[in-house]
Amino acid sequence: IDQPVQTFNYALNNLAAPNTQILFKNGDTFNVSSINVNNISGPVIIDSYSDPSNPSSVKPIIFSTEVDGAWNILVLRSNINDWRIMNLTFSSGGYTSGDAGPRYPGGIGLSGTNNLIYKVKFSNLGTVMVGLNGEGNSIYGCFMEYFSRYGFYCTDGDPSNPLNQKQAIIGNIIRQAPEDDDTFFSDHREHLIRFQGGSKTFIAFNDFEALDTKTNIVIRGNSHEVVIYKNKLDRVNTFAPQNAGSEEYIHHCIAESNLYIGHDDPRFNNGYGVRQEAIGIKATNIVIRNNIFYNYQYALSLSDHPLVGDVENIFIYNNTIIGYQAGCAMMVTQDLPQGIENINNLFYNSTLESPG
């Protein structure tokens, strides 16, 4: 694009075309309500630049003025392919989602194929930071803070594009509401990553600290071949159907080389004095390997599901568990799960002594 335009909406819907690059100036704020982009294939690059005559390192802010309306600031529909959105900030009027205040929009709804969101900041948003489905999309190196429902909402629920596979969520940092902001805790808290009904997805090298979400990573739906690798987590990681009435089969997933750190504050633990479990499993063929678990009542919880059936073939290798107190446990099981391999794991209480 060789000449300036005035609005973010016009640039994306009227100027974007294959082999174009659209740049927004650092330090500027672009007010929008919400934007839908449909049927524009790339490669398209949406990025920022610093004006040499007025240098700035502040990313351009895409600010939504929407209240109780749209669910996302930017929606890239299922026929959007090969877009790169980089070095921008998405923000709105607040991070309430309709329970304790107005519902403000989330960040980006992304479908399509082979799209990238890179080094984007999401701050002060309601609902969802990134809604993700489609195939082969990547969220890399982003920073997210102050949101009310989800960090990532990944689902195959879009009727026009039922795929949810070959996704990558890599190297992102998520920080939840400020610790001293008690108003946040009355709003609609959910999960950092809600992955439902997908496959062949890589979640790695992320740093998650979500003081008031139910879980860090939830693998739900008919999901398989999901890798959770080298993340820092402070919530629960689950491989399980959505609820007791959901017949969903999760299988052939792995959690490897992650650091799980539990909290002591009951505000963050659903009323308990410490996080109960680090990983909950109602699934089959799950590998838990080379992880470190610290300050949980127990590292693993295994239980059957009334519709899906038995927990089977769970492989637990080479983990280090440092429990909460002398009464902590490495694993809690229900209904005698089948095919459990528990090999070469180290288990200590908080004094680094074997609980015995």
**Residue 2: its pLDDT value, please?**
61
What is the rounded average pLDDT for all residues in the chain?
Answer: 83
pLDDT on residue 308: 79
Instruction: For residue 149, give its domain range.
Output: 8-348
Q: Say whether pLDDT at 22 is over 50.
A: yes
On whether residue 356 sits in a domain, the answer given is: no
For residue 355, what are the contacts with CB-CB under 8 A and spacing of at least 6? Answer: 323, 326, 327, 328, 329, 347, 348, 349
Cβ atoms 189, 156 nearer than 8 A:
no
Q: Tell me the whole-structure pTM to 2 decimals.
A: 0.89
The per-residue pLDDT for 348 is 80
Q: Is residue 307 part of a domain?
A: yes
Cβ 195 vs Cβ 165: under 8 Å = no
What is the Cα–Cα distance from 150 to 131, expressed in whole angstroms?
9
Residue 292 counted as domain residue: yes
**pLDDT in the model for residue 252:** 95
**13: which DSSP letter?**
I
Q: Given the structure tokens 């819907």, which residue do they identify?
A: 13
Residue with tokens 């209240």: 67
CATH number of the domain that 18 lies in?
2.160.20.10
| Chain centroid offset of residue 309 CA | 27
Mean pLDDT of 192-196: 85
Between 14 and 272, name the one with better pLDDT: 14
Total number of domains constituting the chain: 1
Count of beta carbons in the 10 Å neighbourhood of residue 281: 26
What are the φ and ψ backbone dihedral angles of 123, each rounded to 5 degrees?
-145, 140
Query: Considering the domain boundaries, does residue 1 fall inside one?
Result: no
pLDDT digits (tens, 9 = 90+) for 167-181: 999 999 987 654 545
With 80 as the cut, is the pLDDT of residue 1 above it? no
- pLDDT tens digits for 64-115? 998 888 888 999 988 889 999 999 999 998 877 666 678 888 899 988 899 9
pLDDT digits (tens, 9 = 90+) for 242-262: 777 777 888 999 999 999 988
Q: Between 77 and 287, where is the model more confident?
A: 287
DSSP code string of 42-89: S-EEEEEE--TTS---SPPEEEE---SS-SEEEEE-TT-BSEEEES-E
| pLDDT for position 355 | 54
Secondary structure element (H or E) that encloses residue 341, with its range: strand 338-343
